[in-house]
Amino acid sequence: MSERIRSSILVVSLAVFVTSCAAVPSQPPDPLASWNNTGPKKAIIAFVERVTTPGSPDFVPAAERVATFDNDGTLWAEQPMYFQLQFALDRVQALAPLHPEWKDTEPFKHVVAGDMDAFLAGGEKALMTAVAVAHSGVTTEEFEKVAKDWIATARHPRTGRPYTQMVFQPMLELLAYLRAHEFKTYIVSGGGVEFMRAFAQQAYGIPPEQVIGSQGVLKFEMLDGKPVLVKMPEVQFVDDREGKARAIQALIGRRPLAAFGNSDGDLEMLQWTAAGPGARLVLLVHHTDAEREWAYDRESHIGKLDKAWDEASAKGWTIVSMKDDWTSIFPK
């Protein structure tokens, strides 16, 4: 064999070897693929490494890794109105034939007539009345069926998507990323606990026992010798603002390592999380993308972000700009 041929063989062999080396340990798929490689993504990864790497001074055992997520505006959209309010209005419409008297009763007559302006002019009282009617008078099992039927059939008025496709793809990736690192992921949200459970497993992979929400009073009754729990119109607990921190303590009994919100209603949960010892991740989703989603903050009636934004800025919490930090918003 000539020196030249031997050299050629060597070069080719080396090239094959190098190519193989580059190809075989192929790049694993990015678990946060819908996040731009900006500050928030880096903060998330750095935090998870700090608390999950054995030997790290901030290491936390798996059993204590709790992450809490607000739902409306954090895990899924909340415009042009909270989706649960749309559910309530649809439910009032569906029940209207059983209630002919609603044609002459505030605020139902406006819902029946489809006059949203008149309905909303009734303010919080009108909202609460409609919500109470839509969420009561049935057993918990009947309600579960009603809510699941609505989730399966209702469509968002602007996008025409099912509501479970109005979830944020980057947040789905974040949930999965945290769970892959043995975090227990909870919803802690102002929405009704039984409404959210109707889709939380399917949409987010979050089981019913990890959904914390507002509760109506339940009444234990015997019906034909069988116990039922009837949903009453009265409010048992409002899981908003300081209620979120209280519910986390009362129901989980562990302070979250990480908490995620998007509005002033999440402030106390974020404060409670941030005040724990060791590494904590406290993150706000800022709705900055009028083209792909919506843009709103301080002046919004829905998902108002004002005080929590100021505090996040002052304390150095992580703020996600949907426009700048997310490559995509909704699932493809």
CB of 217 to a copy of itself, least distance (A): 8
CA atoms of 305 and 265, how far apart (whole Å):
8
CB of 220 to a copy of itself, least distance (A): 4
Decide: helix, strand or coil at residue 155. Answer: strand
Structure tokens at 289: 């993308």
| Minimum CB distance to a copy of itself smaller for 78 or for 268 | 268
- Residue ranges binding a copy of itself (CB under 8 A): 63, 66, 140, 184, 193-194, 197, 207-209, 211, 215, 218, 220, 226-227, 229, 236, 242, 245-246, 249-254, 268, 271-272, 275
CA atoms of 228 and 218, how far apart (whole Å):
9
| Minimum CB distance to a copy of itself smaller for 130 or for 206 | 206
CA geometry: angle 68, 72, 76, nearest 5 deg: 95
Nearest Cα neighbor of 192 from 254, 150, 253, 220 is: 150
CA atoms of 137 and 209, how far apart (whole Å):
23
| Minimum CB distance to a copy of itself smaller for 5 or for 63 | 63
CB of 125 to a copy of itself, least distance (A): 25
CB of 237 to a copy of itself, least distance (A): 8
CB of 246 to a copy of itself, least distance (A): 4
| Minimum CB distance to a copy of itself smaller for 289 or for 311 | 311
Decide: helix, strand or coil at residue 331. Answer: coil
Largest Cα span, the chain: 102
Query: Which residues, in sequence order, are CB contacts of 68 under 8 Å at separation 6+?
Result: 186, 187, 188, 212, 244, 248, 252, 256, 258, 259, 260, 269, 273
| Minimum CB distance to a copy of itself smaller for 70 or for 268 | 268
CA atoms of 157 and 166, how far apart (whole Å):
11
CB of 55 to a copy of itself, least distance (A): 24
CA 123 and chain centroid, separation: 26
CA atoms of 155 and 83, how far apart (whole Å):
10
If you write DSSP's letter for every residue of 42-79 in order, what string do you get? HHHHHHHHHHHSTT-TT---GGG-EEEE--BTTTB---
| Minimum CB distance to a copy of itself smaller for 134 or for 187 | 187
| Minimum CB distance to a copy of itself smaller for 240 or for 293 | 240
Structure tokens at 94: 């569906």
Crossing angle between the packed helical segments 140-153 and 83-95, to the nearest 10 degrees: 110
CB of 128 to a copy of itself, least distance (A): 20
CB of 64 to a copy of itself, least distance (A): 9
| Minimum CB distance to a copy of itself smaller for 79 or for 273 | 273
